[in-house]
A = this chain, B = another copy of it.
């Protein structure tokens, strides 16, 4: 299986995040990418496919914001990483501001996802990996893996959050549709709900989004991923959420997975894109499922049994000791 990674993805390097009312070390570190890379095998640098595939998912204003935010933050006299402090919780709409703090809230959903000097470049090459993996599968390979980091599935069309800036899996899915595929499915098996991906394809009938994740009543991102969220308009019924309780073990996980896979089969997609997170692992420091070493090959096999061309995109997973091995195990099924 071809694997894509670019060293520039490590240029994104936040110093800290807001957590439990105070600063804490940033969990989504560049070491994650190195831990995965050193285990899953040789990676290729992606080609440069430019901004167009990114702009087919994210708004031009948001892309411009990501590119310029740090310069504006510095011009405002601020040291350290950039984060917002107020958010448009009601009647959010596209507005133009003359202040970086306003844009930080307009284009984000949390105070835990800082922008740093290298964020745009890292996110850009991250997205190129996802596009390269999609191209590989579009060209006939059975599967490909985009070693994305920072992750992407919490990022919406015009907002960052949950460690995510560009929605890599959404960019890959849209790229497949823009290159001849008529229907694609996205399966999200990260511990956390892929709210950004859901939001991007919320009213779209050509993309099925199915997500298994910790119940948002207790886990981030809280406000999305509840079972009654099923899409709207042309997308009504094309969003499927399977919230699972903390403590979920492989049996409960596979039961929900079977339902999601049945729904994907019914949808008859031409390609499957998988948001893979290893933060479902029992020892993950920020998560609360009870999957064990060995379970990832079972999950991989269940999904691979669909027999669909598959693009696997890395999302979360924060236990540096096991992250590479669990990911490699999952990939081995494809």
Instruction: Report A's interface with B, CB cutoff 8 A.
Output: 18-22, 73, 76, 78, 80-92, 95-99, 101-102, 105-106, 108-112, 114, 156, 159, 161-162, 199, 216-224, 226
Contacts and interface: CB of A to CB of B under 8 A. Distances in A.
Nearest to A196: B90
A21 B111 CA distance: 9
Given A110-B85, A112-B86, A105 B217 contact: no
A117 to B, nearest CB: 14
Closest 5 pairs between A and B when the two form their complex, measured CB to CB: A88-B223, A102-B222, A86-B110, A87-B87, A89-B109
B91 A224 contact: yes
17 contacts: A18-B85, A18-B111, A21-B78, A21-B82, A21-B83, A85-B110, A85-B112, A87-B109, A87-B223, A88-B89, A89-B89, A90-B109, A90-B156, A90-B159, A99-B219, A99-B222, A106-B222
Contacts of A161: 86
Contacts of A108: 89
Copy number in the complex reads 2
B20 A97 contact: no
Contacts of A162: 86
A65 B224 CA distance: 20
Contacts of A86: 109-112, 161-162, 220-223
Contacts of A95: 217, 222-223, 226
Given A102-B222, A217-B96, A224-B91, A78 B20 contact: yes
A10 to B, nearest CB: 22
A109 B86 CA distance: 6
Contacts of A97: 217-218, 222
Interface centre among A89, A91, A102, A161 (most CB of B within 10 A): A89
Contacts of A85: 18-19, 110-112
A332 to B, nearest CB: 34
A93 B96 CA distance: 25
